[in-house]
Amino acid sequence: MSGCSDCASCNSAAVVEFPGSLAALKTVAVIGPPNSGKTTLFNRLTGLRQKVANFPGVTVEQHTGIATLPDGRTVQLIDLPGVYSLSPRSEDEQVAYDVLTGQRSDTPKPEAVLLVLDSTNMGRHLMLAAPILSLGLPTLVILNMADDLRSRGGRVDLEKLAAELGAPVALVSARRGQGVEKVFDFLAGAMAKPSPRELPILQDVPKCRAWAGHVGSQASYRAPAPPKWTRRLDAVFLHPVGGPLLFLAVVIAIFQTIFTVAEPSQTAVDWVIGHIGNWIASALPAGLFKSLVIDGIFKGVGSVIVFLPQILLLFLFIGILEDSGYLARAALIADRTMAKVGLQGKSFIPLLSAYACAVPAIMSTRTIENKRDRIATILIAPFMTCSARFPVYLLIIAAFIPNRPLVGRFLSMGAAAMLGLYILGFLVAVITARVLKSSILKSGRTPFLLEMPSYRWPTFTSLGLRLLDRGKVFLVRAGTIILLVSVLLWGALNLPYTNGHPPEIANSLAGTIGRTIEPAIKPLGFNWKIGIGLITAVFSRETIIATLGTIYGMDPEANKGGLQAAIHHDLTPGGAFALLVFFAFAMQCISTIAVVRRETGGWKWPILQFSYMTVLAYVGAFAAFHLIH
């Protein structure tokens, strides 16, 4: 901020407003390079007592947790992003540097540091010790993955290493919990400032590496043998022919599972929400308040929560892929294809997930370090045909396209139309990516780097904590915006309230809005009823079905044919085509908007994205209507 690195003398940063109970806590930062097992250790130390937020103003996530020491005292841990160095160039490094030097007003300056390094790759990982030790904060150097080091025949003299670094050293296996008690000892004990024998010039990478090598050899470090199993597995997974085939098999297996499991689990969640709703409804007196609670808040939030099983399932798969180490291999295989549209291999799995739901897709773009590639991936993800579009497509296609065979028995006209819509979304995504990557999100020449971690078995704890974490982020962060929009939409559908009764939907505020915007949507072939449907579809796309059902007085569940006939009556074929195109392009999903806002750290990108997609949807629908008209 003011350029001071020592914040003891810097008043502005030293004044940290923090709740009283936390102020008494000792705060300790956890830092380490990517793939050092830092998060595994953080999970091991804090368990379920974790909080996740975004550092304000940046896209970096802030994980804090409470570790309980054996004597009952507690310590607050801050899990900093994985970094290779502290020279603040990337956003991650900037945040790590600012937190460690006490320059972020939203985070207390840590009193000590847990530096997590991969013991099987100590030579390179020790390079990070130089800038960390030079901060002068009490530091415990944690050599993680001790089990791997031993089984692959590596060794290190901890006492000599501690003497060389002037800081305590612990050899642990965070996955197995071995040696973690030494970390607790450090957190509980008196912490001394480190006094390393010598430190290199931090700006000089070769000197830092030479220093790390020297320290390692002083500590009789013997690097372990190459990971035998990783090489063997790579011979299969990165086989020129077998690799891509296995990759395809993995992708198909994931999708097969999501589509077979998501449907019944969605029905189950729907059932539970419905029953809780009925139960609350029976406890409330009839009237405006009851309607607000049940029809507004409960149904609105419920229509979003039904997607939770599918979202969690996707996170489970992404978690398994990432923790096992396969994600990096998948990214490697997909890189060349993705590079053709200006993206990179790591964009592939998120974009693939977007075919189920854009929410987990956008949240999983965190693995993409390059910010521009990440934003570009976020911006095109909602073009992938998500599962909420499917029922809408199905309804309109069934109403307008005769189910006649097109290519023998294999492809009916309906299926061909559906396939066409999938391809349409994909093509627009590709074009958008190209445009973005050659204009506002041009990457320059930043080289693409992809570290291949060793293969590891994912652990249940880490997968479970990840699901909990992502589920919480979705419900809490997206939930607030979803709640707000739910109440607003309820107001639109239920006001003006006359004589204790909500108005007919045609006379409601939404109906008025629908009629008001009718001139604007007439060129697309839509009447005011479809207009209302488009407004309520902002909840999530499939809500339009329920809305149209209400408007036409048909229960879409009981009378599918009736709703189809009603829509057929109200839309010309051109209008139906326009409606399909509109749904393919428009960003009608508050969850996605909320998640984009969270992941990009502001309203700029979601507003841009929403505007772009809406304009595209309008123009596309206009063209579609006039093409067939």
Partner 1 sequence: MQLSVNCDFPEKLPVSLVDLRQGDVAILDGIDLPTEDARRLMELGFLPGMQITAGRSAPGGDPRVFQVDGSEIALRRETARRLKVRGQKTAKLDVKPRV
User: Applying CB under 8 A, which residues contact partner 1?
Assistant: 84-85, 87, 89, 120-121, 123-124, 127, 205-206, 209, 223, 226, 234-235, 238, 240-241, 243-244, 328, 332-333, 335-336, 339, 345, 445-452
Minimum CB separation from partner 1 for residue 319, in Å?
Answer: 22
CA atoms of 321 and 316, how far apart (whole Å): 9
Residues in the chain: 629
CA atoms of 448 and 66, how far apart (whole Å): 36
CA distances from 45 to 48, 79, 108, 613 (A): 10, 11, 20, 44
Minimum CB separation from partner 1 for residue 451, in Å?
Answer: 5
Coil, helix or strand at residue 491: helix
Nearer to partner 1, 243 or 525 (CB): 243
Nearer to partner 1, 6 or 451 (CB): 451
Bridge partners for 498 per DSSP: 501
Nearer to partner 1, 37 or 425 (CB): 37
Minimum CB separation from partner 1 for residue 425, in Å?
Answer: 26
Nearer to partner 1, 130 or 359 (CB): 130
Nearer to partner 1, 124 or 434 (CB): 124
Minimum CB separation from partner 1 for residue 103, in Å?
Answer: 22
Please give the angle made by the CA atoms of 110, 116 and 117, to the nearest 5 degrees: 145
Nearer to partner 1, 16 or 238 (CB): 238
Minimum CB separation from partner 1 for residue 448, in Å?
Answer: 5
Coil, helix or strand at residue 53: strand
Nearer to partner 1, 281 or 339 (CB): 339
Residue type at 98?
D
Sheet holding 139-144, edge to edge: 50-54, 61-68, 74-79, 26-31, 112-118, 139-144, 169-171
Minimum CB separation from partner 1 for residue 346, in Å?
Answer: 11
CA atoms of 115 and 139, how far apart (whole Å): 7
Residue the block writes with tokens 């530096």: 115
CA atoms of 552 and 529, how far apart (whole Å): 9
Integer distance in angstroms from the first to the last C-alpha of the chain?
Answer: 61
Residues 196 and 218: beta-carbon distance below 8 Å: no
Nearer to partner 1, 247 or 618 (CB): 247
Minimum CB separation from partner 1 for residue 352, in Å?
Answer: 17
Minimum CB separation from partner 1 for residue 96, in Å?
Answer: 14
CA distances from 64 to 142, 173, 201 (A): 19, 21, 32
Candidates 315, 294, 135, 143; CA nearest to 216 is: 143
CA atoms of 166 and 36, how far apart (whole Å): 21
Distance of CA 502 to the CA centre of its chain: 39
Burial 239-262 (b: 16+ CB within 10 A, else e): eeeebeebbeebbeebbeebeeeb
Minimum CB separation from partner 1 for residue 85, in Å?
Answer: 5
Minimum CB separation from partner 1 for residue 210, in Å?
Answer: 9
Nearer to partner 1, 223 or 320 (CB): 223
